[in-house]
Amino acid sequence: MKRVIECVPNFSEGVDPNIISSITGEIAAVNGVKVLNVDPGKGANRTVITFAGEPEAVVEAAFMAIKKAGELIDMRTQQGEHPRMGATDVCPLIPISNISLDETAQYATQLAKRVGEELRIPVYLYGHAQPDKKRSDLSVIRAGEYEGFFAKIKLPGWQPDFGPHEQDAKRGATVIGARDFLIAFNVNLNTRSAGIANEIAQAVRESGRIIVGKGEKKRVPGTLSCVKAMGWYIEEYNRAQVSMNLTDIAVTPLHQAFDEVCNKALAHGVKVTGSELVGMIPLKAMLDAGRYFRLKQGLLSASGESELIATAIRSMGLDELAPFDPHKRIIEYML
């Protein structure tokens, strides 16, 4: 049986369609991979490309995409709402079928070594591919972003795993690793206040917030485990969003994250108007959400697959900002 891994690189360009098309073209040109989704965001100035295939082909396609991104994206002038540290900001590999996370991590390390040695881009390993757990978390690695990395890369303990030990002014640095499936999910609010969105994000994310009182700092965790979140205002949509990464949907499923943001939004006097999926989603997550909302609405939980998916889309407003086609967004359908 074929081994299949997925790759979901995030590129620091969401505005210029020619650049996005050129990077996507490098991926599509590699035999043995299939481009599943291309998801640009103008406000975030970031594009997420999802593709899958046999491991060796995926590694080759990722390398070619990172190379092209470094040629076309200039980090010296790049601006956007999303945190970033390089032209290819992050490039995760995810096991899909007949391959373990450990094996996937080995392929991620091979890719990182090649990028560092051949392209001379500083590369940090993260997730399951990073043996040093003190620097395996993406947000910890990326702290300081592109502008801060000229100094950070020189600090003890922050030399890259591969490539030169100095920040590349044009291409920045990149992070490559292996992880389980992650859902990137933004919840739309009927406000333009990034401050309110960030308050909600801090209330729900696992890391919570830091509260200072009586000269002491105390971390108060949020209500959702295995969730990372931040709030921002997206000019393109003229609204604020709570932007989340659901890192383990067995612990915190999509529908639970959506409902919790709805509850926290009401506490701040705002409402959720819909949501936005970035990239792909597993079929089970949509079916579970459909069953949850049907039960919540007092409907029979048993229903056909297409109706459950339709219920999930309606209930979470996944089509508020753009049409949501399940056959293009659910990974099993695309594969």
Confidence of residue 175 (pLDDT cuts 50, 70, 90): very high
Q: Is residue 334's pLDDT more than 90?
A: no
**What CA–CA distance (Å, rounded) separates 48 from 302?**
34
Name the strand (E) or helix (H) holding 213.
strand 209-213
- 158-170 mean pLDDT: 97
The two beta strands, 10-11 and 46-53, are antiparallel
Positions annotated as catalytic residues are 82
Residue 148 makes CB contacts below 8 A (sequence gap 6+) with none
Sheet arrangement for strand 272-278: 227-234, 239-246, 183-189, 272-278
End-to-end CA separation in angstroms for the chain: 15
What's the pTM? 0.81
**Which domains can be identified in the chain, with CATH numbers?**
4-178 (3.30.990.10), 183-334 (3.30.70.670)
Q: Give pLDDT tens digits for 124-137.
A: 999 999 999 999 99
- Tokens representing 118? 């051949």
Question: What is the average pLDDT score of the chain?
Answer: 95
Q: Give pLDDT tens digits for 218-268.
A: 899 999 999 999 999 999 999 999 999 999 998 999 999 999 999 999 999
Q: Give pLDDT tens digits for 45-66.
A: 999 999 999 999 999 999 999 9
- Cα–Cα–Cα angle for 160, 161, 166, nearest 5°? 25
Q: Is residue 302's pLDDT more than 80?
A: no
Sign of CA dihedral 97, 103, 105, 110: negative
Residue among 102, 125, 175, 165 at smallest CA distance from 145? 175
